[in-house]
A and B are shown apart, each in its own frame.
Chain A
Amino acid sequence: MQYAAPETTKAAVSLLAKAKGSAYVLAGGSDLLVRMKGGFIEPDLVVDIKRIKAMREVKKTASGFTIGAAVPCAELGENKALLKAWPGVVEAANLIGSKQVQGRCTMSGNLCNASPAADSVPALVAAGAKAVIQGPKGKRAVPVEQVPIGPGKTSLKKGELVESLVLPARKPRSGDAYLRFIPRSEMDIAVVSAAVNLSLDAKGVITDARVSLGAVAPTVLLVAAAARAIIGTKLDAAALDKLGAAASAACRPIDDKRGTIEFRTKVAAVLAQRAAKIAYQRAGGK
């Protein structure tokens, strides 16, 4: 195995594009090293992006936040402005693994690992985040939900990598929230999860919303029907019922060691409702 730690995105792209054999980006390594250890992959080249300065920063701009691909999740929790604007995204990122894993793992890695149970991805999808992709043919930005295309598979082409994630600027009276179900209190992979992002008008009526679900389908789902169920409401009991029903209806889960179809379908509704209530409150709704 070859290891490279380039200092610019350009150099990283060129290494990846020229690589013969299997080449992997190394961000926090909390997925990559586990897969190497288990013998599931034997990379010929690993490109460590943590020495690329631009990728180590969180930048606040007029159009929102740009989060470099190599920023460990622990730093997101320490960024007060980001936490204030996108508490749901930050709490999702800070649920990944342990304090130890937090010190290393990145949201971009979480996204590119393409697990349907990835914690930060539903929150990013609900937030309407975009992934900025750099490749041999230049730069493009896509909605994050277009990056993973199935368990362990992404739409990235050879030589491409995610350079940063962009969160949009916040409207007033907005809030987001992420909840996952795990059997323990920490150190588990989500059995099912839900993220809700919404904005209110001055009267507390929901004007727009995005609802997404994790671990209930091969990729994270953006559930438009669930969003429709609460738009135009003050999140009253009827709206919550509809939201729950829409969430359950969207689930296409499997039975596996972590949970059953029945359980995931039921709890998806519960989490969507609970997350909606938190997001609503964060947006200033009463």
Chain B
Amino acid sequence: MAVLVSTTVNGDHAEFACEPNETLLDVLRNRLALTGVKEGCGTGDCGSCSVILDGRLVCSCLVLGIEAEGRKVETVEGMAHGAELHPLQTKFIEHAALQCGVCTPGFLMAAKALLEKNPDPSEEEIRFGLAGNLCRCTGYDKIVRAVQDAAKVMRGA
């Protein structure tokens, strides 16, 4: 039996009906058409479904949709402010931190969560902070550089 869930997604009120065993990932993609949230594994191993739930980075494939009741969900779709990209988005493009780009939404969310906690991370902190996100195209080099550069911009340095 489907249940009605009322939540906030990217700052906007959202309501959806879902089965109790449906994951937040499926709800975001299939019921709210937020297909920027990607499924690479469905089991928590790749990070491409990363979203921020009440301020904490999580894999949306390991959250039930029904758990979002009354909570705040942030996805990649909510990262830019109008026409202005988030510095991480800008730097990812500038540094070619994406090749195929399917991992990118997850990395952006993870990097955002990382920089909110630690605005001036070392290379090692970035690498461990992003270890839950798999990228098979880039070898991570350009991703790490993009995050370093974005951190600098965000610190106003």
Contacts and interface: CB of A to CB of B under 8 A. Distances in A.
Interface of A: 1-3, 5, 26, 28-30, 33-34, 36-38, 43, 46, 48, 50, 72, 74, 97-101, 103-104, 185-187
A51 B103 CA distance: 32
B131 A34 contact: no
B67 interface: yes
Contacts of A30: 44, 62
B115 to A, nearest CB: 12
A99 B62 contact: no
B3 A3 contact: yes
Contact of A99 (B42, B53, B67, B114): B114
Contacts of A46: 20-21, 64
10 contacts: A3-B3, A26-B64, A34-B43, A37-B43, A97-B44, A98-B132, A99-B129, A100-B62, A100-B132, A101-B44
Contacts of A2: 20
Contacts of B19: 1
A103 B58 contact: yes
A4 B63 CA distance: 14
A3 to B, nearest CB: 4
B27 interface: no
Contact of B62 (A5, A29, A48, A186): A29
A266 to B, nearest CB: 26
B57 interface: yes
B43 A38 contact: yes
A34 B21 contact: no
Contact of B42 (A1, A5, A37, A186): A37
Contact of B59 (A36, A50, A100, A185): A100
A48 B68 CA distance: 12
A58 to B, nearest CB: 16
B15 interface: no
A55 B156 CA distance: 40
A185 B131 CA distance: 9
Given A72-B56, A103-B53, A1 B21 contact: yes
